[in-house]
Amino acid sequence: MTITTSSVKQVPWAARTRSGGGTGRLRRPRSTAGAGMYRPWWMPVLWIAPTVIVIAAFGVFPFLNTIVLSFTNATPLGGGGEWVGLANYERMLTDDNFWRATRNSIVYALIAVPLLVVLPLMMAQLVYKHLPGIGLFRTAFYAPVVASMVAVALVWQNLLNERGPINTALRSVGLVDSPVPFLSDPVLLLASAIALTVWKGLGWYMIFYLAALANVPSDLYEAAELDGAGAVRQFIHVTVPGVRLTMLLIAIMSGIGSLRVFTEIYVLGGATGGPGGQVQTLPFYIRDTALDPIAGNAGYGAAVSVALFLLTVGLAVLSHKFGSREES
């Protein structure tokens, strides 16, 4: 006997429902089994509670407390202090040391950010292709990222001092007659700190570009090559547009990092921030004004911290608007 499919009774996986006499639609039966029916409503809240508590305790509360402190004359060891209104902000507008530190921070960012956007892209372009031994170069470029900033800055301090290897080499070849004051001249000290920041950040941002280059279609390079474009034109017209969003991300990240720089200035220039504090940045100035146990003013330091926050947000917004306009 031949068995046909029509003679076999099928067990439906869905139930047909009708509404208003019209054609019904199939609905999958709602499952009542599983752990969901035994889970109380507050269980997801319990799962995220530790993360929310940590963010609130170490992020939101210090931020709000800094804003409140900026309206007081609190001291580092003396408690909350008295309410002084906008007095700290008025003092900040007429403080020459504050404007000098702001100028140093802005100059630091204006020089370091373009270098940290362009140079890692060139390095990533060099080590992107899979060639024999290319992993060794990638490791060498990334090695400074792993090292501690304090340790690296101490090495640079020994290299740049008046009796260091760099000055010794310059004098031995006759390029200079006297040691170059890399660590005592304010301009050269700021330039040395910027060079240290850029050198240590090259490998970190190179990783971002390597990931972005992997997403650029190879067909674009082939089409550009057929049109007669050389390596430089392919880099400008294919590579740069393909990694534009990554360039914007790196510009924002490096800009924020440049405005928060402290260790480079402290190790290379000493505890005063260079001769007479001429190379102090805003984080350095905040430490001097807010954390001095004798003459410190935590309220004024908090006001400078708010100014640094606004400067950082402004830089991020400008970078985003510039990137969005270029993308459009």
**Domains, the chain, with CATH or none:** 96-291+301-327 (1.10.3720.10)
The distance of Cα 40 from the centroid of its chain, to the nearest Å, equals 40
Nearest CA among 150, 145, 117 for reference residue 254: 117
45, two tokens: 């809240």
229/150 Cα distance (integer angstroms): 45
- Residue numbers in the chain where pLDDT is lower than 50: 1-24, 32
265/281 Cα distance (integer angstroms): 8
270/248 Cα distance (integer angstroms): 34
253/242 Cα distance (integer angstroms): 19
327, two tokens: 């993308």
Amino acid at the residue 272? T
Residues in the chain: 328
Consecutive H or E run containing 26: strand 25-27
Residues facing residue 15 across a β-bridge? 27
Nearest CA among 237, 265, 244 for reference residue 112: 265
The predicted pLDDT at position 250 comes to 93
Nearest CA among 313, 185, 201 for reference residue 263: 201
Alpha helix locations (H) across 218-281?
Answer: 218-226, 231-234, 240-242, 244-259, 263-269
The predicted pLDDT at position 211 comes to 92
Nearest CA among 299, 282, 279 for reference residue 290: 299
Query: b vs e for 74-101, b when ≥16 Cβ sit within 10 Å of the residue's Cβ?
Result: bbeeeeeeeebeeebbebbeebeebebb
Nearest CA among 201, 189, 187, 190 for reference residue 141: 201
